[in-house]
Structure 1
Amino acid sequence: MQFREITGQHAVKQRLVSSVTENRVSHAQLFLGPEGSGSLALAVAYAQFLSCEDKQPDDSCGVCASCRKYQKLMHPDLHFSYPTFGTPKESAIDFIEQWRTALSENPYLNLDTWRGYLDSGNKQANINILECHQIIKKLSFKPFESVYKVLILWLPEYLDKQGNALLKIIEEPQPNTLFLLVAQNQDQILNTILSRTQLVKIPPLGFDEIQEYLVANHNQTETAAAEIAYLSNGSMAEALSMLQQDSKGYHNLFVQWLRLCFGNKGLEVLSFVDSSSKMGRENQKNFLRYGINFIRECCLISAGAEAMVHLPAQELDTARKMAAVMNIAQSETIIDELEKAHYHIERNANPKILFLDVSLQIIKVLNLKIVPPGNHYIPN
């Protein structure tokens, strides 16, 4: 994998390239970024650049023997460790073929997608003590072909206390051994491991970066790509997941829902509840997520911060109209209801009952002007 294949993250790429060209490669590094930011892909591209036999000024060559093996994720000096969902007698090496397939098909792999490749249902993910011993064994040998032997540990958050078995190999590795941890949540990593790594912080992707990627690589229209980018909150993994859903036209549907609640159109609200309950769980989650984001944009407009709003022209015009009839206290109350609904949908709540309850709460806010205590409601 080359840096040029990874969307955005130009500053991070430059920092990684500079660390190699200036001979400042730390033996243990933590690539810390939110899900879908490309942190795993960056770690692989960095390892490929380190091992490349004909380094270019800002990327690996992509054609030397080392790069060709890296492209297939089959270089003898490249090792992976990752959470599995099986028994304590299974380690990462038992699933290496599935891992290579999953990462090759989706460089923005997340845990749910990885779970799907292993058909693991709702089993608990973890990195067990057997895997820790395998890591120690792999890193105890000298590099076979390249200057560096590299181990990429994806999601060290799933290391329990047995992760302390890795402390000595992290602190005193063999010469030219590189340990790359790729994490999403710093607070869930063992402090003993965290203190022994150099941090490489990776930000979420920008709205424009995700939109351009979807248009260029997935044949999305500007409008469809903008809506997905808006919903994804900087996560390419989330954006790619949304491409698999049946429909993304959430704006008109959400605005229709607000208008029905604003006018207290009882029968029409019930009709909406019935249709929304049949959307499917993932579409329901995305629909609610769109609503949360849209109402937040209305809040920004109400607060005089329209310059920070990212909405297509038609949706921006609607948001302005909504902001004119809905103050910040009302908006906050609706956001709270939508967030609770999203939480319960994830936990398989009955969608018909849930959407009816949320509709009634929105009617109270928009039609009856009732805002719960604590939301300092100021009449328009």
Structure 2
Amino acid sequence: MQFNRIIGHEALKQQLIATVRENRVSHAQLFLGPEGSGSLALAIAYAQFINCEYKQDNDSCGQCASCIKYEKLIHPDLHFSYPFFAKDKNETSNTYIENWRNAFLSNPYMSLSFWREQLEAENKQANINIAEAHSIIKKLSLKAFEAEYKVLIMWLPEYLDTQGNALLKLIEEPPEKTLFLLVAENQDKILNTIISRTQLVKVNKLSYEELKQFLIQDKQIEPNRANEIAFIADGNIQSALTQLEEEANTNFDLLIRWLRFIVTDSGLNIIQICEEELSKLGRENQKLFLVYSINILRQIVLLNQGMPNLVFLKDSELEFVQKFSEITTLEKLETAIDLLEKTHYSVERNANPKILFLDLSLQLVLLFKYNTFPQGTQYI
């Protein structure tokens, strides 16, 4: 993976390259960025650049023996660790390495949900177990085969749990020329003892314009459709790719009908749309619908606060947010966004969708119809 194949992050790429040029490569780094931002791809491109035999000014050469092996993720001094769905306590990530390589090479911006689908793991619990920690220690105790640096890239160390304590000494005092590159999405879920031993590399989400241009130029998507997808994805390439797999986007029509039932307190219709439509979307589409709804409400906030120049919606969507901004308040919108975000969190954790969306709907009825500010229930 070369830097030039990764969307955006130009300043960060130059920063990473400079650490190599100036011999300031930290032995343990934490690439922290939201889902779909490209943090995993950046970590792999960084490792490839470090071990490239003929480094260019702004990228690895892509042609030396090291780069060729890195491009296929088969370099003997490049090791991976990631969450998997173990069938027994002695399994390690090596069991799924071919699946892992195929998954990343087909989608460098993959999410845990995408990875779960590759293994057909359904709702099984992901984990990085103690056997994996011991396997890492064994791998890194060996001398490098070919490259100057041995590299371990651990994707989603949030799933390491207390097993990570077995790696503390190795992370703090690794063998010479050994790099740990941790790639995480949620700093709060990583062991503090690991965070304290790493150097933070902050990876921001992609901008709306960067994602839109990627869809137009790389995926050959018509501009209006690219605009719509980029808006819903909110900087998450994985989310955008998931949407592309859908034949048509019906989120706007569904949102309009749902909100109409909410603001009119149409009880039977609310129950029906929650049971027959929202609960049957499937978890990934439910998440997309909630993200889309949150982004629409944020656009309403911008209009409500007199910043129409920051609103990029068109046609029916623009007409809707203009009308809605005139009949609501900032306080209500903030509360509604908070409720939607909590629901998104619960969807990720497999809450019962019928109960979840009905509870959300009723709380929004209280908010928009009766001016009551409810507290969201957490179904975890």
What is the TM-score of this pair, normalised by structure 2? 0.87
Whichever residue aligns with residue 247 of structure 1, its letter is: A
TM-superposed deviation, 1:221: 1.8
Tell me the equivalent position of 1:69.
69
TM-superposed deviation, 1:261: 5.6
Relative to 1, partners in 2 of residues 1:134 and 1:300: Cα closer, same or farther, differing over 3 Å? same
Distance in 1 between residues matched to 2:183 and 2:192, nearest whole Å:
15
Give the secondary structure class of the aligned counterpart of 2:18: helix
Tell me the equivalent position of 1:32.
32
Distance in 2 between residues matched to 1:268 and 1:162, nearest whole Å:
48
Contact 1:333 1:371 in 2 (8 A): no
Q: Deviations over 1:278-310 (max 9, x none)?
A: 862243442333222212211221122334434
Q: Deviations over 1:140-166 (max 9, x none)?
A: 122211111111111111223232222
1:286 to 279, 285, 288: 288
Relative to 1, partners in 2 of residues 1:309 and 1:274: Cα closer, same or farther, differing over 3 Å? same
Distance in 2 between residues matched to 1:160 and 1:256, nearest whole Å:
42
2:326 to 324, 335, 355: 324
Distance in 1 between residues matched to 2:272 and 2:130, nearest whole Å:
54
TM-superposed deviation, 1:106: 0.8
Contact 2:52 2:61 in 1 (8 A): yes
Whichever residue aligns with residue 220 of structure 1, its letter is: I
Distance in 2 between residues matched to 1:125 and 1:275, nearest whole Å:
30
Kindly report the root-mean-square deviation, in angstroms, between the aligned alpha carbons of the 2 structures: 2.9
Whichever residue aligns with residue 165 of structure 1, its letter is: A
Structure 1: gaps (5+ residues): 376-380
Distance in 2 between residues matched to 1:269 and 1:157, nearest whole Å:
37
Whichever residue aligns with residue 309 of structure 1, its letter is: V
Tell me the equivalent position of 1:97.
98
Tell me the equivalent position of 1:205.
206
Distance in 1 between residues matched to 2:280 and 2:109, nearest whole Å:
26
Tell me the equivalent position of 2:256.
255
Distance in 2 between residues matched to 1:197 and 1:268, nearest whole Å:
52
Tell me the equivalent position of 2:80.
80
Q: Deviations over 1:111-168 (max 9, x none)?
A: 1211222222222222122211211121112221111111111111122323222222
Tell me the equivalent position of 1:157.
158
Q: Deviations over 1:258-289 (max 9, x none)?
A: 45665678998788668735862243442333
Distance in 1 between residues matched to 2:159 and 2:271, nearest whole Å:
44
28-37 or 337-346, larger mean C-alpha shift? 337-346
Distance in 2 between residues matched to 1:308 and 1:271, nearest whole Å:
36
The answer on 1:315 being equivalent to 2:302 is no
30-39 or 284-293, larger mean C-alpha shift? 284-293
Distance in 2 between residues matched to 1:17 and 1:169, nearest whole Å:
25
Relative to 1, partners in 2 of residues 1:288 and 1:111: Cα closer, same or farther, differing over 3 Å? closer
Aligned identity (percent) is 52
TM-superposed deviation, 1:72: 0.6
Tell me the equivalent position of 2:18.
18
Structure 2: gaps (5+ residues): 376-380
Whichever residue aligns with residue 105 of structure 2, its letter is: S
Relative to 1, partners in 2 of residues 1:130 and 1:321: Cα closer, same or farther, differing over 3 Å? same
Distance in 1 between residues matched to 2:171 and 2:330, nearest whole Å:
50
Give the secondary structure class of the aligned counterpart of 1:150: strand
TM-superposed deviation, 1:34: 1.3
Contact 1:224 1:248 in 2 (8 A): no
Give the secondary structure class of the aligned counterpart of 1:218: coil
Relative to 1, partners in 2 of residues 1:74 and 1:221: Cα closer, same or farther, differing over 3 Å? same
Q: Deviations over 1:3-45 (max 9, x none)?
A: 0111111111111111111111111111111111111100100
User: What does residue range 350-361 of structure 1 map to in structure 2 within 5 Å?
Assistant: 351=354
Contact 2:367 2:373 in 1 (8 A): no
Distance in 1 between residues matched to 2:121 and 2:373, nearest whole Å:
44
Tell me the equivalent position of 2:195.
194
May I ask how many residue pairs the two structures share in their alignment? 372
Give the secondary structure class of the aligned counterpart of 1:151: strand
Distance in 2 between residues matched to 1:135 and 1:261, nearest whole Å:
52
Give the secondary structure class of the aligned counterpart of 2:37: coil
Tell me the equivalent position of 2:378.
none
Contact 1:276 1:284 in 2 (8 A): no
Q: Deviations over 1:326-363 (max 9, x none)?
A: 33344345445655665666646465x87677667666
Relative to 1, partners in 2 of residues 1:348 and 1:130: Cα closer, same or farther, differing over 3 Å? closer
Distance in 2 between residues matched to 1:340 and 1:174, nearest whole Å:
43
Relative to 1, partners in 2 of residues 1:355 and 1:151: Cα closer, same or farther, differing over 3 Å? closer
Tell me the equivalent position of 1:378.
none
Contact 1:299 1:323 in 2 (8 A): yes
188-197 or 263-272, larger mean C-alpha shift? 263-272
| Rg larger in structure | 1
Distance in 2 between residues matched to 1:171 and 1:247, nearest whole Å:
50
Q: Deviations over 1:153-212 (max 9, x none)?
A: 111112232322222222222221111111112222222222111111111111111111
Whichever residue aligns with residue 7 of structure 2, its letter is: T
Relative to 1, partners in 2 of residues 1:185 and 1:258: Cα closer, same or farther, differing over 3 Å? closer
TM-superposed deviation, 1:107: 0.5
Give the secondary structure class of the aligned counterpart of 2:206: coil
Distance in 1 between residues matched to 2:161 and 2:364, nearest whole Å:
43
Tell me the equivalent position of 1:303.
305
Distance in 2 between residues matched to 1:344 and 1:246, nearest whole Å:
27
Give the secondary structure class of the aligned counterpart of 1:372: coil
What is the TM-score of this pair, normalised by structure 1? 0.87
Whichever residue aligns with residue 45 of structure 1, its letter is: A
Contact 2:279 2:353 in 1 (8 A): no
240-249 or 250-259, larger mean C-alpha shift? 250-259
Whichever residue aligns with residue 21 of structure 2, its letter is: T
311-320 or 167-176, larger mean C-alpha shift? 311-320
Whichever residue aligns with residue 301 of structure 1, its letter is: L
